[in-house]
Amino acid sequence: MDLTLLPLIDDQKCFETVRRLRWQTGVACPQCESAQITKWGMDETQACRQRYHCGGCGRDFDDLTSTVFAGHHQPLRVWLLCLYFMGLNLSNRQIARELSLDEDSTHDMASQLRDGIVARQPAVVLSGEVECDEVYVVAGHKGHPEAVNKKGDHPVEGA
């Protein structure tokens, strides 16, 4: 299996991927769901992290607000690589090995990712197939968690 991941590891690519995944129907305020959004510069410490200002409620937010990525100690690229590996049907054990994580952490991350990357909109975000560079990442099988779990835990032959 060819696991050439360089295109995904770049910070710019990571944030582009997050934006593509979470703003599928356009940028909307995580607080009031208003679509009256103005781009509001970039994050001071992460140059690729877009900030926004909501014209509806006046709050500021950014690409990671209300996502499972925010406030977590794992870097964004680790989350996205986890998602990428899930799309390749790697088992939690294989993902843990690829990312140098322990299996418990990997299991937690995979579980959260399967529920959707945006905590408040699990049914909207990551349902069905989303394009993630050269691969199709399948995530958020709402209503069929047991099918996903079975698939996710199934070892890949020859890997």
CB of 59 to Zn ion, least distance (A): 5
CB of 28 to Zn ion, least distance (A): 8
Phi/psi of residue 61, each to 5°? -150, 175
19 class by beta-carbon count within 10 Å (0-12 exposed, 13-18 middle, 19+ buried): middle
Which residue lies nearer to Zn ion by CB, 57 or 156?
A: 57
Which residue lies nearer to Zn ion by CB, 57 or 70?
A: 57
Which residue lies nearer to Zn ion by CB, 121 or 127?
A: 121
Binding site for Zn ion (CB under 5 A): 29, 31-32, 34, 54, 56-57
CB of 15 to Zn ion, least distance (A): 21
Tokens of 71: 């406030």
CA 113, 115, 120, 125 torsion-angle sign: positive
Q: What does DSSP say about strands 135-138 and 129-132: parallel, antiparallel, or unpaired?
A: antiparallel
